[in-house]
Chains A and B, each alone.
Chain A
């Protein structure tokens, strides 16, 4: 335990302001929400459609992130080859790139007038698959970073032992490497899912906002705020509750006890 010391006054004041800045909007939201109307607002057709689309999109995106991200994390952590730095950059870019830019890039790649349209004559915008693609791209880096660190902390001796006992490379990967980093895969998947659930910019740019097809909860919140602010508040508090649940589930990772 770190010994507690008295912080200099300016530091304490700045820290207090920071806390207020973060707390005030959340508090205001909770006070604004029409709690009694909540069940009705959350079960309107539009809300239920958005819930369904968001559920499908975020879960499939998290699943794809695991299926593609775990092998990518393994390659980045355990192998050395020319061009690894470029792959690492490609993997990290969606973390810092404005999501709208990701959406525009997706249009160039998988839009009807992009490469995919040129080759196949159709694109993925305005489809649920398109929304899933956008969510996967922005969320997979969270999983990769979490799992890559775990793969990196192993020294490869267990794998060498498995190999010396007669296990092939694929059996070693499945029965030794992956189970050892399972806690990080779970944590990374939850993070990726939460990021996919909140995805807005890339989705609206690339997949558009079609009710029941691509209009996820965040898109519905923005739209509802124009017509029915109470419904926007209700959906917002739902997303807040989900976020708090994620924080609680991963508390050992984000809130280290002293």
Chain B
């Protein structure tokens, strides 16, 4: 299986409910946009397996899943290097390369508590990329970094992606969404659009989507 299929998925979280149903084929990048509380993070957490769907089914592409949560979720007592190398399936050369590419070399011996929010996000990104995941899930991975680093991180993500990799990214940045193949627009837990960014910005189905791209 090389596709990601979210089939009639429903997540219940107290009085909030998220419903989605979509398929993403290999090699596709999908941006998820929407206001705060529209269900973007729940969707990513669900796809990562951190949140059990109350109904429906997720079929993930074979291979590993790389998940970069908004808060990084680094292991607090391990150094940056130990965090990136934690677990299985990492080659030494990839470890060296990802630390170099994301400019983490000076930080490798620090622990997460000694890093800024943006630095923690970069470490979490490195930890996901180094596993060369077939499905990369990014929850606003660039929210805490400045414009220059944002460009660097996006370039690194592109550089590390493989032709068949699926990337799902929650973003508030119109330029980031425009770089993706597809955009999923969420409103109050419902998908209001799933289309290429050019199509969405040319004929926005809702006022907030028009505003998002302007």
Q: Are B88 and A179 touching (Cβ within 8 A)?
A: no
Residues from chain A with a CB closer than 8 A to the CB of B78 are 175
User: Which of B49, B75, B76, B77 is close to A164, meaning CB atoms less than 8 Å apart?
Assistant: B49
What DSSP secondary structure best describes chain B's contact surface? loop
> Binary interface profile of A, 151-184, with partner B (CB < 8 Å = 1, else 0)?
0000001101110111100000001100110100
Task: Report the interface size class on chain B.
Answer: 10 to 19
Q: Are A165 and B49 touching (Cβ within 8 A)?
A: no
Q: Are A158 and B49 touching (Cβ within 8 A)?
A: no
Q: Are A179 and B89 touching (Cβ within 8 A)?
A: no
Q: Are A158 and B75 touching (Cβ within 8 A)?
A: yes
A113 CA to B78 CA in the complex, in Å? 52
A162 CA to B75 CA in the complex, in Å? 8
Residues from chain A with a CB closer than 8 A to the CB of B65 are 164
A165 CA to B49 CA in the complex, in Å? 12
Q: Which of B41-55 contact A (CB under 8 A)?
A: 48-50
Q: Are A167 and B88 touching (Cβ within 8 A)?
A: yes
Residues from chain A with a CB closer than 8 A to the CB of B77 are 179-180, 182
A160 CA to B127 CA in the complex, in Å? 15
Residue of A nearest to B71 (CB): A157
Binding site for B on A (CB under 8 A): 157-158, 160-162, 164-167, 175-176, 179-180, 182
Please name 29 pairs of A and B residues whose Cβ atoms are closer than 8 Å in the assembled complex, sorted by A: A157-B50, A157-B73, A158-B73, A158-B75, A160-B50, A161-B69, A161-B73, A161-B75, A162-B75, A162-B86, A164-B67, A165-B86, A165-B88, A165-B127, A165-B131, A166-B64, A166-B87, A166-B88, A166-B89, A167-B86, A167-B87, A167-B88, A175-B75, A175-B86, A176-B75, A179-B77, A180-B76, A180-B77, A182-B77
The 4 lowest CB-CB distance pairs between A and B, nearest first, are A165-B87, A166-B88, A166-B87, A179-B77
